[in-house]
Structure 1
Amino acid sequence: MVYNFRVFKKQSPNGKLTMYLGKRDFVDHISGVEPIDGVVVIDDDYKNRKIFGQVICSFRYGREEDEVMGLNFQKDLFLVSEQLYPLPEKSVTTKLQDRLMRKLGDNCYPFTFILPPSAPASVTLQPGSEDEGQPCGVHYYVKLFVGENETNRSHKRNAVMMGIRKVQFAPTKQGRQPCTVVRKDFMLSPGELELEVTLDKQLYHHGEKITVNICVRNNSNKIVKKIKVMVQQGVDVVLFQNGQYRTSVASIETQEGCPIQPGSSLQKVVYLQPLLSSNKDHRGIALDGQLKKQDLNLASTTLLASPDQRDAFGIIVSYAVKVKLYLGALGGELSAELPFVLMHPKPNSKGKLIQSDSQADVETFRQDTIEPDVDEDKYD
């Protein structure tokens, strides 16, 4: 029986090393990250050489075109570095590796890398229209190379590197319904202005509309002239002390129901849909880590086991709905914020089975399921 499996393949420039991975997205479950399992096929000419493997977390925090006079705006962290061949001892293999080794022959050797739980998520910052080169953000690579030891600087001709992503999926349970009430009183004026904001739920999937329920109670002598509702994306570049900024990714401004006179109230429902398609020109917006032939979308919320678990290489992404009441030049403003979670749902069971280690053994692969990866190497 023939099954159709998707396998990613990449070969070194001299054709002596070939890497195979069953997938390129590895899920962070907060408590741990899925192991990176694959195989390497070694040419007979390299059977007397040592083969090493590494997982590199690369953080680019500046544009390549600005790297002049020795400046370098990229830091690399080697999360894993191991000898793959000759194997110091026989390792435990997954069923995916077993199937690949039966298919690819005696020169095929397995490898498995374990990422630390605190490793940052794959995030790309949207470049400007005139920016060139690799975009800023956190990128991951699996690198295999020939050398005498794992600290050797490898030659590009006998090294192979493939980009991967560390991703998170939405929890299965909703949290508490977000709700907040803010009030503002005014000097030399009786009464206060009250703003209540409620979201229909805490967890949204990409592409969903966000329902914002607004209730304004004006017990002051001020007049509410207009209302603005925004979805703001917060980006915290942990490497820098002042690396926090916010960008509006969806907004609506309305005067419907306004002005709200003293003693009056207003109940209103607003719908917002944060999408990348309406933010193509916003430089610096956080996007999910990018792999070739994949559609881009806004970055997912970064889930942390604890607020203190922030890797120095990381980019922390968060979202909040902000409602602002405008009271005119003398009255000022009143605003309220509600954080929420925006993520991708977990893949369905059918998608999981394609890559699952619990599948029945197969003896053959269809040739068109092994996909070559032809991205240019980012390292010498």
Structure 2
Amino acid sequence: MMTPETALNSQGMFKNSSPNKKLTIYLESRDYVVDNGSADKIQGVIHVESAELKNMKLLGQVTMIFRYGRDDKEVMGVESCNETIVSLTQIWPPYYHVKQPISAFQETLIKRLGDYAFPFYLNITHLAPPSIKLVPAKQYYGAPMGTSYDVRAYMEDSSRSNTVRMGIRLFRGRRRPQPRLFPPHAPHPTLNALVWLPHQPFRYSRRSPELASNEVPHHVSP
């Protein structure tokens, strides 16, 4: 049987800490999809040093960053970048009227990290634009241009050094099926089949893709 511990080890996670190492954020995924008028819910865990929770609120948010110009061209404090908050929640103390279900990923991390690990949930509106990266014609090494998102967690009335953030990506389209999880040391069904790949590339026409004359398509049974 697949336990939460096995699921965490199989899927992995994404982790980042604040500059002062007081806050650490954990996410199960950094890619989220908007499909049929709804967006994937962001679920994660935030770990806080015990001394930082002295009558203070712990907040989380999703920020959309729209950069429409090069940062190396900014002068006189004028920035070609706009930010807006698309989701905001209070992580601690919890204020939910209805208790939110905890995923296996969150449950396992909370057991590992102890009493100062808190689950959080963030909802993105389905009207949010997708992540887009613009590539300028001239060579550029600055902040990425286009539309991007990040998840931030911070203590109320705290400094920037006590803020943790992690970039995420938002896509529009059909949701991809979730990968199947297999216990450790269990044979994967697709590893039992041998696949022959042709050395010659596919030849494409304007009407439909065609195989080269010396190539034969091969099918792999599941």
TM-score by length of 1: 0.43
Question: Hey, what's the Cα distance between the residues in 1 that align with 2:175 and 2:20?
Answer: 44
Specify the code of the residue in structure 1 equivalent to 2:73. Answer: D
Alignment CA distance shift 1:86-1:209 (3 Å): farther
**Quick check: 1:127 aligned with 2:136?**
yes
Question: Hey, what's the Cα distance between the residues in 1 that align with 2:81 and 2:203?
Answer: 37
Q: Is the 8 A contact 2:14 2:27 kept in 1?
A: yes
Q: Is the 8 A contact 2:33 2:175 kept in 1?
A: no
**Quick check: 1:136 aligned with 2:140?**
no
Aligned to 1:11: 17
Alignment CA distance shift 1:77-1:125 (3 Å): same
Q: Runs (4+) of structure 1 moved beyond 6 Å? A: none
**Quick check: 1:46 aligned with 2:36?**
no
Q: Secondary structure at the match of 2:59?
A: strand
Aligned to 1:165: 169
Q: RMSD of the alignment, in Å?
A: 2.5
Q: 2:112 aligns with which of 103, 106, 112?
A: 103
Specify the code of the residue in structure 2 equivalent to 1:76. Answer: E
Specify the code of the residue in structure 2 equivalent to 1:143. Answer: R
Q: 2:123 aligns with which of 114, 129, 137?
A: 114
Among the aligned pairs, what percent are the same residue? 32
| Matched ranges for 1:317-328 at <5 A | none
Q: 1:212 aligns with which of 192, 206, 214?
A: 206
Q: Secondary structure at the match of 2:10?
A: coil
| Matched ranges for 1:1-380 at <5 A | 2=6, 3-48=9-54, 49-89=56-96, 90-148=99-157, 154-169=158-173, 211-213=205-207
Specify the code of the residue in structure 1 equivalent to 2:148. Answer: H
What is the Cα deviation at residue 122 of structure 1? Answer: 0.6
Judging by fraction of residues, say which structure has more helix. Answer: 2
Q: Is the 8 A contact 2:35 2:175 kept in 1?
A: no
Question: Hey, what's the Cα distance between the residues in 2 that align with 1:71 and 1:14?
Answer: 29
Q: Secondary structure at the match of 2:148?
A: strand
Question: Hey, what's the Cα distance between the residues in 2 that align with 1:33 and 1:107?
Answer: 29
Q: Secondary structure at the match of 2:206?
A: strand
Alignment CA distance shift 1:100-1:130 (3 Å): same
What is the Cα deviation at residue 14 of structure 1? Answer: 1.2
Question: Hey, what's the Cα distance between the residues in 1 that align with 2:100 and 2:118?
Answer: 10
What is the Cα deviation at residue 77 of structure 1? Answer: 1.3
Specify the code of the residue in structure 1 equivalent to 2:170. Answer: K
What is the Cα deviation at residue 30 of structure 1? Answer: 3.3
Aligned to 1:293: none
Question: Hey, what's the Cα distance between the residues in 2 that align with 1:210 and 1:146?
Answer: 56
What is the Cα deviation at residue 94 of structure 1? Answer: 2.0
Specify the code of the residue in structure 2 equivalent to 1:126. Answer: V
Q: Is the 8 A contact 1:41 1:104 kept in 2?
A: yes
What is the Cα deviation at residue 5 of structure 1? Answer: 2.9
Q: Is the 8 A contact 1:41 1:108 kept in 2?
A: yes
| Structure 2 unmatched runs, 5+ | 177-201, 211-222
Judging by fraction of residues, say which structure has more strand. Answer: 1
Structure label with greater radius of gyration: 1
Q: Name the structure, 1 or 2, with higher relative contact order (CA <8 Å, separation 6+).
A: 2
Number of residue pairs aligned between Structure 1 and Structure 2: 176
Specify the code of the residue in structure 1 equivalent to 2:134. Answer: L
Alignment CA distance shift 1:210-1:147 (3 Å): farther
Question: Hey, what's the Cα distance between the residues in 2 that align with 1:18 and 1:100?
Answer: 12
What is the Cα deviation at residue 92 of structure 1? Answer: 2.8
What is the Cα deviation at residue 98 of structure 1? Answer: 1.3
TM-score by length of 2: 0.71
